[in-house]
Amino acid sequence: MLECGQADSGLAKGIVIHLRRGRNLEESRNQLIAMLETLFSETNIKEKKRILAEEYGMVMTAELEGRMNVMCNWSENILEDGIQQGIEQGIEQGLDLQLARKIQIKIGKGKSVEQIANELEETVEHIYALMGRLDSILTDAGGRASHSN
């Protein structure tokens, strides 16, 4: 444990701050958290700069504006990455749902797993994997699953 004034061993130090998200939040009583919530809010950058200058007395130097732009772009990129991952996951789930429905119909017609795989141009392993999840895939999509294991 370091005593006050001692040099550290080069280990990184950090702190995690949970910032609230959403609109119409009561401003935090902690000035640092309130400033960070403003900085990472969905407000446009011009308004953020105005709030930070007027409400927190921050002087907008070229360096500070540059750092704000980096932080705002960083948070926007995180949001965009999350949206992209959600889209990709949705597409994958949609494709699984479409295949699951086709599998369900073909099973109802008495087709074998090998026939289903051949007709759907999928591997037998993938068909088995989807069959194992058939009820949950169809139920999650709001469909009624008639297949039982």
Please tell me the predicted confidence (pLDDT) of residue 115. 96
The whole-angstrom separation of Cα 19 and Cα 16 is 9
Long-range contacts of 84-89 (CB under 8 A, 24+ apart): none
Residue tagged 């401003």 (tokens): 27
Please tell me the predicted confidence (pLDDT) of residue 109. 95
pLDDT by residue for the chain (149 residues), tens only, comes to 445 555 556 677 777 777 777 666 788 888 888 888 888 777 888 888 898 889 989 888 899 888 888 877 776 778 788 899 999 999 998 998 999 999 999 999 999 999 999 999 999 999 998 888 888 887 777 644 444 44
Please tell me the predicted confidence (pLDDT) of residue 1. 45
Token pair of 8 as six digits: 């550290």
Instruction: From residue 85, give the alpha-carbon distance in Å to each of 75, 77, 82, 138.
Output: 15, 12, 5, 22
Please tell me the predicted confidence (pLDDT) of residue 145. 42
